[in-house]
């Protein structure tokens, strides 16, 4: 039995995806909070993602918020010193587009306060028996 590291990540696509044959490759930015000199700051980390789906490059674009799930892999890449390094990447088995590029969430009450308005939420209210 093999041990496979499976992970989920949510982030924004940082550049338009590249298509290499039947593989779509892109990077997402993951924000982390770290304590630097006693102060909390947000630091961006980047994760390379690949999916064996050539049509995915047609719908993904820079700026989209996505949630990806898949197995972690480490492929050796040459570095400028003649050696190699092993950056982690996610081999995607599941991807959801959470926000299209350029879309802004619509909220009630302005700003970040209130609940997000969706057509489905409004339809659900009509079905309530009370």
Domain-embedded: residue 118: no
Indicate if the pLDDT at residue 100 is higher than 60. yes
Indicate if the pLDDT at residue 11 is higher than 60. yes
Domain-embedded: residue 117: no
Domain-embedded: residue 76: yes
The residues, any chain, with a CB within 8 Å of residue 21's CB and separated by 6 or more, are 54
Domain containing residue 87: CATH number = 2.40.50.140
Domain-embedded: residue 129: no
The arithmetic mean of pLDDT across residues 92-118, rounded, is 63
User: What does the angle CA 47 – CA 101 – CA 51 come to, to the nearest 5 degrees?
Assistant: 40
Domain-embedded: residue 115: no
CA distance 62 to 101: 7
Domain-embedded: residue 82: yes
State residue 90's pLDDT score.
92
Indicate if the pLDDT at residue 110 is higher than 50. no
- Could you list the residue range(s) of the whole structural domain that residue 43 is in? 6-101
Indicate if the pLDDT at residue 109 is higher than 50. no
Q: How many domains would you assign to the chain? A: 1
Domain-embedded: residue 20: yes
Domain-embedded: residue 107: no
- Tens digit of pLDDT for each residue in 13-60? 999 999 988 899 999 999 888 888 889 998 888 999 999 987 888 889
């Amino acid at each position: 039995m093999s041990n496979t590291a499976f992970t989920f990540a949510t982030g924004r696509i940082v550049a338009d995806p590249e298509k290499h044959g039947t593989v779509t490759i892109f990077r997402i930015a993951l924000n982390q909070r770290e304590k630097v000199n006693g102060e909390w700051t947000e630091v961006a980390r980047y994760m390379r993602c690949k999916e064996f789906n050539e049509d995915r490059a047609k719908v993904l674009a820079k700026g989209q918020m996505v949630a990806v799930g898949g197995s972690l892999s480490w492929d050796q890449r040459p570095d400028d010193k003649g050696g190699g390094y092993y950056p982690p990447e996610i081999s995607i088995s599941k991807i959801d587009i959470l926000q299209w590029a350029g879309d802004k969430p619509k909220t009630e009450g302005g700003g970040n306060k209130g609940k997000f308005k969706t057509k489905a939420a409004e339809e659900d209210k009509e079905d309530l028996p009370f």
